[in-house]
Every structure is written in C-alpha cells, then in structure tokens.
Amino acid sequence: MGSFFASFCGNSNNYQEVDRERMREAAEKRMKESETRGIKNIESVKRQQAAREQMEQLEKNQLKSEGEGLRWQVG
C-alpha cells in the first residue's frame, strides 16, 4: 500500500525496492524455517546425509571396478 501512495509523490521506485527487499527476506526466512521443521538436531541430519552420499559413491566405485555390474543378455 505504501508503494501505491508513493507513486503520487514521485518516490515509488525507492519504496518498491524496499518492498521487494522485505518480501525477499521474508521468503528466505520461510524457506529456512521449513527446511528445519521437525528436526531437533540439524547437524546430526547433515552428518547422516554426508555419510549416505559417501556410501553411495563407494558403491558406484565398486560397481565400476567389478566390470560395470550386471549385464542383461537377450537372445
């Protein structure tokens, strides 16, 4: 609403920039809160995710070293 009345005064551009900045900050805050909703120990979750990714990478490397894994033969 401030932007609407500011357009009559000639300062609409400045108010619009302030409004955009506030909306951007509020959106970032909501995203950050939604990421951690229901999680008590964020660091523990991050460690578990890193360990899971490391295990997946090791499994990929093992499959490559064993001859690309299983192959299907049709015939």
- pTM of structure: 0.40
Q: Rounded to whole angstroms, what are the CA distances from 45 to 15, 37, 39, 49, 56?
A: 41, 12, 8, 6, 17
Residues 50-74 have pLDDT tens digits of: 999 999 999 888 877 766 556 678 8
Q: Position 25: which residue type?
A: E
Residue with tokens 């300062």: 11
pLDDT of residue 56: 94
pLDDT of residue 6: 52
Contact (CB, 8 A) for 23 and 32: no
pLDDT of residue 20: 94
Percentage of the chain lying above the pLDDT 90 cut? 35
Q: Which of 14, 17, 23, 16 is nearest to 1 (CA)?
A: 16
